[in-house]
Amino acid sequence: MGGLSRRAYLIKQLTSDKNKPILILDAGALLFEQPVIPPSQFAAKKAKAEGIVQAMQKMNYQAIGIANHDLAAGTQFLKQLEETFHVPFVSVNLVSKQNSELLFKPYLIEQTGDLSIAVIGLTGIEPGTLNTASSTDYSVIAWQKALRYTLDEVTAKVDMVVLLSSFPEQKNKEIAARFPGIHLILQSGHSSANRLPKLYTNALVTQVGSRGKFLGKMAINWTSSKKWEQNYTAQIKNLQASLDRLNWLIGRLEKRYRDKNPTEDAQYNKLTLARTDITSQIENIQKEKQQVQKQLSTYSDTFAGLKISLPEDKEVLSIVNRTKQVMNELGRTAMHQLKQQNIRQQSSPNMAGWESCQDCHPSQTEFWKQTNHANALQTLVKVKQQYNQDCLICHVTLPTYDPETVMKDNLIAGLNEEFHNVTCESCHGPGRKHAAQPEKHKPLIPDDKTCRNCHTPEHDTDFDYERKVRVICCPAS
Amino acid sequence: MNKKKIKRTTTVKLLTLFVVVALLFLNGQAAFAVDFKLIFSNDIRGEIEPCG
DSSP code for A141: -
Type of residue numbered B2 = N
User: What integer pLDDT is reported at residue B28 of this predicted model?
Assistant: 46
Q: Which residues of B touch A12 (CB under 8 A)?
A: none
Query: What's the CA angle centered on A297, arms A293 and A299, to 5 degrees?
Result: 120
On the CB side of A151, CA atoms within 13 Å amount to: 19
Task: Considering only the beta carbons, identify the residue of B33, B36, B46 that sits closest to A21.
Answer: B36
Is the pLDDT at A346 greater than 80? The verdict is no
How many Å apart are CA A160 and CA A101, to the nearest integer? Answer: 26
Q: What does the pLDDT look like over A320-345, one tens digit per residue? A: 999 999 999 998 888 888 777 765 55
Chain A nearest-CA residue for B49? A3
Task: Considering only the beta carbons, identify the residue of A23, A52, A186 that sits closest to B46.
Answer: A52
Task: Considering only the beta carbons, identify the residue of B33, B42, B48 that sits closest to A26.
Answer: B42
pLDDT-derived band at A348, boundaries 50, 70, 90: low
How many Å apart are CA A7 and CA A5, to the nearest integer? Answer: 5
| Residue B41 sits at the chain A interface (C-beta within 8 Å) | yes
How many Å apart are CA A401 and CA A174, to the nearest integer? Answer: 37
Main-chain dihedrals φ then ψ at residue B37, nearest 5 degrees: -105, 135
| Pairs across A and B, CB distance < 8 A | 177
Q: Do A159 and B34 touch (CB under 8 A)?
A: yes
Q: Do A27 and B42 touch (CB under 8 A)?
A: yes
Interfacial A residues in 325-384 facing B (CB < 8 Å): none
DSSP code for A51: H
Closest CA to A63 of A232, A155, A184, A199: A184
| Residue B27 sits at the chain A interface (C-beta within 8 Å) | no
Whether residue A389 contacts residue A45, with contact meaning beta carbons closer than 8 Å, is answered with no
Q: Do A24 and B39 touch (CB under 8 A)?
A: yes
Q: Which residues of A touch B52 (CB under 8 A)?
A: 454, 456-459
Main-chain dihedrals φ then ψ at residue A219, nearest 5 degrees: -105, 115
Q: Do A113 and B32 touch (CB under 8 A)?
A: no
| pTM for the model | 0.80
pLDDT-derived band at B13, boundaries 50, 70, 90: confident
Whether residue A39 contacts residue A90, with contact meaning beta carbons closer than 8 Å, is answered with no
How many Å apart are CA A153 and CA A118, to the nearest integer? Answer: 11
How many Å apart are CA A49 and CA B45, to the nearest integer? Answer: 9
| Residue A5 sits at the chain B interface (C-beta within 8 Å) | yes
How many Å apart are CA A173 and CA A168, to the nearest integer? Answer: 9
Of the listed ranges A3-17, A162-176, A375-389, B15-29, the least confidently predicted one is: B15-29
Whether residue A103 contacts residue A79, with contact meaning beta carbons closer than 8 Å, is answered with yes
Distances (CA, A) of A380 to A4, A8, A332, B48: 21, 26, 13, 17
Residue of A339 and A255 predicted with greater confidence: A255
Type of residue numbered A220 = I
Q: What does the pLDDT look like over A34-78, one tens digit per residue? A: 888 888 889 999 999 999 999 999 999 999 999 999 999 999 999
Mean pLDDT, chain A, whole residue set: 89
Is the pLDDT at A467 greater than 70? The verdict is yes
| Chain B: closest CA distance from residue A258 (Å) | 55
Q: What does the pLDDT look like over A264-297, one tens digit per residue? A: 788 899 999 999 999 999 999 888 888 777 788 9
pLDDT-derived band at A233, boundaries 50, 70, 90: confident
